[in-house]
Amino acid sequence: MKILVCDKTESDAIVRMRAAGLTVDTNFEITPEQLPNVLPGYDGCVVRSRTKIRQPLIDVCPRLKVIVRGGVGLDTIDAEYARSKGITVMNTPKASSASVAELTIGYMFMLARNLFKASATMKAEKWEKKAFEGDEIGGKILALIGIGNIGKEVARRATVLGMTVIAYDPYVKEAEGVKLVTLDELLPMADYISLHLPKTKESADMIGKAQFDKMKTGVRIINCARGGIVNEAALFEALSNGKVAGAALDVYAEEPPTDWKLAKLDNVICSPHIGAATKEAQGRVSAEVAEKLIDFSKSH
C-alpha cells in the first residue's frame, strides 16, 4: 500500500510503517491546491487538523482506500461521504485525551485565580496584590457537556480536586462518580462548564443566548472541544455583561479567527487549538496511526 502523510507525524511511526512493508511518503506542507494532483496516486493518507479531505477531493481519488486522522473527531473529513465510496475512515480518539484534560484543568485554575491578569501586571512592573482575590475550585460544581474519553479524564481529575462533577451526554447511560443530568438541569447548577463533544449538526450553536440566560451569574466556561458549539456572539455578550465571569478558549468557529474581539476581552484567556499539543500525546497519536494503517494493510 502507498500512503501519503499530509501532516506532521512522528518519525518513529513513519519508520514503523515502512518496516511493515508500507510505502510511505511525507509532505507536511502540502497545500489544498496540490492535493488533487498528488493524492490520486495513493491508497491511503494520514491527516491531522491542517489538511481537509472533502468530497471534491475524494471524487478525484478513486484509488483511495483508507483515511486516518491523527486526533479526536473527524470534522476535517467528509467521513460519511468517504465511507459511501468504500473508503475506511479512522481516527485516534483516546491518544490525546489526557493532554486535553490537563489543559482543561489548568484553564480552570487560571480562571479561578486570575493568573493571566496577575502575570500581565507583574510584567508591567505593577504590584496589585489586592486586585486578585480568587476562588478555590474545590467544592465547586463542574458541569461537563459531553463525557466521552476526554470528559471522563477531566471528571477523574476534577473529582480528586474536590469538585462535584455533573454531566450532560445523551449518548452515555452512566459514568463513574458523575451524576448525569439534562442540559436544562445542568446549566443553572454549574460553577464551571466545560465542553467535550464533537461539533455536529446537533451540537452546532447548542450554547447560545437562551442557554446563557439559564446559567448562574458568575459561571466560567471552558471550551477545548470544537469551535462553533458555543455561539461566539452570545458568549461575547455574556462575558461583557457579567453573566459569565470568564472564559478559557482553545477552539474557535474560524481557525485562525477573522474576528479577534472575543480573544481580546480582559476576562478571556485563550490558546491556538493546542489541546493535544504535548510531546506525549503526539507520540501516542503517531503510534496509533501507524498501528491502524499496518493492521488495515494486513486485512486488505
Active site (catalytic) residues: 226, 255, 273
The answer for residues whose C-beta is within 8 angstroms of residue 182's C-beta and 6 or more apart is 168
Residues 230 and 208: their CA atoms lie apart, in Å, by 6
Do 186 and 168 touch, CB atoms closer than 8 A?
A: yes
Q: Which three cell numbers stand for residue 227?
A: 469551535
Residues 147 and 178: their CA atoms lie apart, in Å, by 9
Please list the alpha-helical segments (H only) found in the chain.
11-19, 35-38, 55-59, 79-84, 97-113, 115-123, 149-160, 183-189, 209-214, 232-240, 279-299
Do 166 and 178 touch, CB atoms closer than 8 A?
A: yes
Count the Cβ atoms, other than its own, within 10 Å of residue 163: 22
Count the Cβ atoms, other than its own, within 10 Å of residue 234: 19
Residues 228 and 254: their CA atoms lie apart, in Å, by 8
β-pair type (192-195, 268-270): unpaired
